[in-house]
Structure 1
Amino acid sequence: MSMTNRSPFKLDTDLITLRSLVAVVEEGGFSAATKRVHRTQSAISLQMAKLEERLHVKLLDRTSRSVSLTPSGETFVSYARRILELADEAVLAVTAPDEQELLRVGFAEYLAPQHLHSLLARFRRSHPHCDLSLVLGSGTAMIKALEHGELDMVFAGPEGENGQLLWEEPLVWTGMKESVDHDGAPLELVLMPPPCWYRQKTFDALARASRPWKLSVEANSVQAVQSAVRAGLGVSVLPLSAVQSDMLLASDSLPALPDTSVMIYVQQDSYQPYARRLIDFLLAGIEENLENRTVMLMQATSTRVHGN
């Protein structure tokens, strides 16, 4: 029997519309979403209107200043993200190389995103012939391991040479008000041991500002730095993406800091069929959340900085 009517229980839309919906939600509006999906604001608005008409459900509450999800919209977007992830995995799977290879990846601990393991799991499902070895540590140690042939690629900061720039993000002071505002007292610092690029930039900034300091805690990992900062043992300098949502951005009275670069380093003159694919895959997955997470963190901490 031929069914000519659309079923109300089947999704009748395209992936482009779903990408537009997710972009509107994550970018915070139609105008901001245009750059991400490369469509005009009016085209995106029409897509959303047609999608809501097909579903017979309102997904977005729109005002002249903001866009927010309805309860139905929250549910639908969670499914939309899963559909898009599966579609992207399908493309990866059918275009993956056939070689059986071990890809040894080093990730500077302070750059590893919280969802790194889920990203790697998605990559591994789409590339069953690629075995992954993941090592976390300091950027300097990872780059040395790469130079000694112990790793195939390393994601780290600007510590090394011949790296490819992936993106830039600000360095920020993070810590509690009590760790900052002591008239004339040295600034109490929580830092990782040398060699550490962020440690040197901290000292350089304080020297330029003639700000006295003392090293209160020397922590051997980013997690240890984060724990010490949360405990109020001092302030630290971290990339903005390494500042957790329950950590405070420190005072504007502290010296200005430079941006930091996130780089990819690969073994020179070596063929690794999965390296470039993993770089592009991780870059897409991390960049998709980086700007949105930065905005959310700034908003979350702005009302709590210095205990306000």
Structure 2
Amino acid sequence: MKKSNSSQFQLSSDLLTLRSLIAVVEEGGFSAAAKRVHRTQSAISVQMAKLEDELDVKLLVRGNRSVTLTPAGETFLSYARRIIQLADEAVLAVGSMHQATVLRVGFAEYLAPQHLHSLIARFRHSYPNCDLSLQLGSGAPLIDSLFNGELDIVFAGPEASDGQTLWEEQLVWTGKPELAADASKPLELVLMPFPCTYRQIVFDSLTKAGRSWNLSVEANSVEAVQAAVRAGIGLTILPKSAIREQMPLIEVGLPVLPKTSVMYYVPPNGSNPYTQCLVDYLLENVEDVKNSHLA
């Protein structure tokens, strides 16, 4: 690979190229990235080839079904994200200086970090012209509200097929260990109503393991599930970040659970300028969010 950039500048690629690189990595391929940035797959491929040629380094490893980062690509990606964030902040700073914009956010209760309020406060400090309207609830109804035009972005689990993955998180069993100790007795469960995706995971995993169960409590909110578990009424599964005090993990004697995807959903023609800013902010603070159960 020969360096073709004869410019006096170290990097002359435009912002669209950097956005394309980010999209290729986050979407896992050129086809999905092309849809995200509204370009053709061949145009994205040409952009990446030119960028690698300009940097004189290989950024991406192209497989048959996936694209992965080289060590140099991983380093450059972090800078690309910072450049894009600063560019977006600059536009927002001058373009929205005199008019506040409301960002309507839906957050699935079972994914809401314990310190969500402090995360939101820090986000608003970075974007003072963004007024947040926050709605907590179940994932599927929130997604319905999104596509009815009532929300700008929703953070939930894999309730629908058109979300984009933020990160993956381990599902865990929680409850008093003695409730699961006797394999001959049915497990007493505390679950959210259908169509909660975790409910079906519980039923499928226990059926496969040959464990019987009773649905002791069907709770209408995650807070109610957490309260019932703390009271010793039954067992449930939740993402690890949704575990609170007095909710012991059960790590033996029950089926191994899969990871769940934390997704974000935006409408096809969404135009709120702060949507991607919030996504980027959460990605930057992903460890804080995932470890919020320790707070």
- TM-score normalised according to structure 2 size: 0.65
Q: Which residue of 1 aligns with 2:204?
A: 204
> Are residue 231 (structure 1) and residue 224 (structure 2) matched?
no
Q: How far is the alpha carbon of 1:115 from its aligned partner?
A: 1.5
Q: Which residue of 2 aligns with 1:76?
A: none
Q: How far is the alpha carbon of 1:240 from its aligned partner?
A: 0.8
> Are residue 123 (structure 1) and residue 119 (structure 2) matched?
no
Cα deviation digits, residues 65-114 of structure 1 (max 9, x gap): xxxxxxxxxxxxxxxxxxxxxxxxx9997663433321100000010111
Partner Cα separation in structure 2 for residue 101 and residue 269 of structure 1: 17
Partner Cα separation in structure 2 for residue 258 and residue 203 of structure 1: 13
Partner Cα separation in structure 2 for residue 147 and residue 106 of structure 1: 12
Secondary structure at the counterpart of residue 195 of structure 2: coil
* Aligned residues between the structures: 209
> Are residue 177 (structure 1) and residue 177 (structure 2) matched?
yes
Q: Which residue of 2 aligns with 1:252?
A: 252
Matched-pair identity in %: 56
Q: Which residue of 2 aligns with 1:62?
A: none
> Are residue 101 (structure 1) and residue 101 (structure 2) matched?
yes
> Are residue 241 (structure 1) and residue 241 (structure 2) matched?
yes
Of 181-190 and 231-240, more deviation after overlay is shown by: 181-190
Q: Which residue of 1 aligns with 2:113?
A: 113
Partner Cα separation in structure 1 for residue 268 and residue 109 of structure 2: 23
RMSD: 2.5
Partner Cα separation in structure 2 for residue 270 and residue 134 of structure 1: 17
Q: How far is the alpha carbon of 1:182 from its aligned partner?
A: 2.8
8 Å CA contact 1:92–1:126 kept in 2: the answer is no
Point out where structure 1 has 5 or more consecutive residues left out of the alignment.
1-37, 39-89, 298-308
8 Å CA contact 1:186–1:211 kept in 2: the answer is yes
Partner Cα separation in structure 2 for residue 240 and residue 281 of structure 1: 21
8 Å CA contact 2:169–2:290 kept in 1: the answer is no
Q: How far is the alpha carbon of 1:125 from its aligned partner?
A: 2.6
Partner Cα separation in structure 2 for residue 113 and residue 250 of structure 1: 21
Partner Cα separation in structure 2 for residue 178 and residue 232 of structure 1: 10
Partner Cα separation in structure 2 for residue 108 and residue 151 of structure 1: 13
Alignment of 1:48-197 (within 5 A): 96-97=92-93, 98-99=95-96, 100-197=100-197
8 Å CA contact 1:157–1:261 kept in 2: the answer is yes
Secondary structure at the counterpart of residue 250 of structure 2: coil
8 Å CA contact 1:92–1:127 kept in 2: the answer is no
* One-letter amino acid of the structure 1 residue matched with residue 287 of structure 2: E
> Are residue 288 (structure 1) and residue 284 (structure 2) matched?
no
Secondary structure at the counterpart of residue 232 of structure 1: coil
Q: How far is the alpha carbon of 1:127 from its aligned partner?
A: 2.0
8 Å CA contact 1:235–1:250 kept in 2: the answer is no
Partner Cα separation in structure 2 for residue 181 and residue 289 of structure 1: 33
* One-letter amino acid of the structure 2 residue matched with residue 288 of structure 1: E
Q: How far is the alpha carbon of 1:225 from its aligned partner?
A: 0.8
Partner Cα separation in structure 2 for residue 142 and residue 252 of structure 1: 34
Secondary structure at the counterpart of residue 128 of structure 2: coil
Q: How far is the alpha carbon of 1:244 from its aligned partner?
A: 1.5
Point out where structure 2 has 5 or more consecutive residues left out of the alignment.
1-74, 76-85
8 Å CA contact 1:96–1:126 kept in 2: the answer is no
Relative distance call for 1:291 and 1:224 in structure 2 (3 A) is closer
> Are residue 278 (structure 1) and residue 274 (structure 2) matched?
no
Partner Cα separation in structure 1 for residue 172 and residue 236 of structure 2: 8
Partner Cα separation in structure 1 for residue 111 and residue 175 of structure 2: 19
8 Å CA contact 2:169–2:239 kept in 1: the answer is yes
Partner Cα separation in structure 1 for residue 223 and residue 290 of structure 2: 22
- TM-score normalised according to structure 1 size: 0.63
Partner Cα separation in structure 2 for residue 177 and residue 278 of structure 1: 38
8 Å CA contact 2:190–2:225 kept in 1: the answer is yes
Q: Which residue of 1 aligns with 2:265?
A: 265
